[in-house]
Chains A and B, each alone.
Chain A
Amino acid sequence: MKVCDMMQQLDMKLFSGASGIEKEITGGYSSDLLSDVMGNAEEGQVWITLQTHKNIMAVASLKEVSAIVLVKNLQPEDDVREISNEEGIPILGTAMDAFTVAGKIYAMLK
């Protein structure tokens, strides 16, 4: 499944990083603790979180995740969108909470 497929099927909003929406999703990781993500997320996974500040892009780009999904209608700060565009790592938004959206993505990847 590509990032754009997940986006369409779950009716997600694209905040930034449009150049990366063709990337393949290999799995997912849900956490709001940055060093947990640093230690345990894997390349190509979507990262589900409620953190919206700039450091999420450092983590996402160093770990090479396929996309970031912000839950509960949270929005990325402006400087975060800028880096997401530069890096081509999409930041997506959903109204769902982490539990719900993780369950849906999990089911779609099975």
Chain B
Amino acid sequence: MLFKYEVEGGNFSKAGFASGEIKKILKQINIDAKIIRRVVVALYEGEVNVVAHAVRGTVVADIDDKQIYIRIEDEGPGIKDIALAMKEGYSTASEKVREMGFGAGMGLANIKKNADWLNLSSKVGEGTVLEMKTFF
């Protein structure tokens, strides 16, 4: 089953939409509640990163009986140093974004902790692709 959602850069009021939808779908197919929480935590952080740091993006989720594969692709500034971005505490979030309680630099670390497999690639000035898998 393939699902696709659009993510708008800068629009925090819509952040979390894809995560909420995927949560409903995984519940419907009776995936274990702990696994669902891990999937949606990682997906939410990925979604918020597009909203906070990029211009626009898409979330594609592919679900079968063994796993969920999620790909979040965005158009945006990209990430120059991926190893640095993965470090807990590193953030380039704007003051406005920080006031809302984002920008702790913990999102990518959360994704790493919660996904079973993760791949992050980026081209500076073009965009970022985050892929992750969780096994059921």
Q: Do the two shown chains form a genuine complex with each other? A: yes
A4→B99 CA distance, assembly (Å): 31
Q: B12 near A39 (CB under 8 angstroms)?
A: no
A43→B34 CA distance, assembly (Å): 9
Binding site for B on A (CB under 8 A): 32-36, 38-39, 43, 49, 51, 53-55, 58-59, 61-64, 79
Q: B19 near A53 (CB under 8 angstroms)?
A: no
Q: B15 near A55 (CB under 8 angstroms)?
A: yes
A79→B13 CA distance, assembly (Å): 9
Q: A39 near B101 (CB under 8 angstroms)?
A: no
Q: B12 near A62 (CB under 8 angstroms)?
A: no
List the B residue with the shortest CB-CB distance to A64: B37
Interface size on B, residues (CB 8 A): 23
CB-CB contacts of B17-54 with A at 8 A, as 1s and 0s?
00110010000000001000100110011001000000
Q: A43 near B37 (CB under 8 angstroms)?
A: yes
Binding site for A on B (CB under 8 A): 12-13, 15-16, 19-20, 23, 33, 37, 40-41, 44-45, 48, 100-102, 104, 106-107, 109-110, 113
Q: B41 near A53 (CB under 8 angstroms)?
A: no
Q: A62 near B106 (CB under 8 angstroms)?
A: no
List the B residue with the shortest CB-CB distance to A39: B110
A35→B91 CA distance, assembly (Å): 12
Q: A35 near B13 (CB under 8 angstroms)?
A: no
A53→B23 CA distance, assembly (Å): 21
Across-interface contacts of A35 in B (CB, < 8 A):
45, 48, 102, 104, 106-107, 110
Across-interface contacts of A54 in B (CB, < 8 A):
12-13
Among B19, B107, B113, contact of A62 (Cβ-Cβ < 8 Å) = B19
Across-interface contacts of A79 in B (CB, < 8 A):
13
Q: B40 near A62 (CB under 8 angstroms)?
A: yes
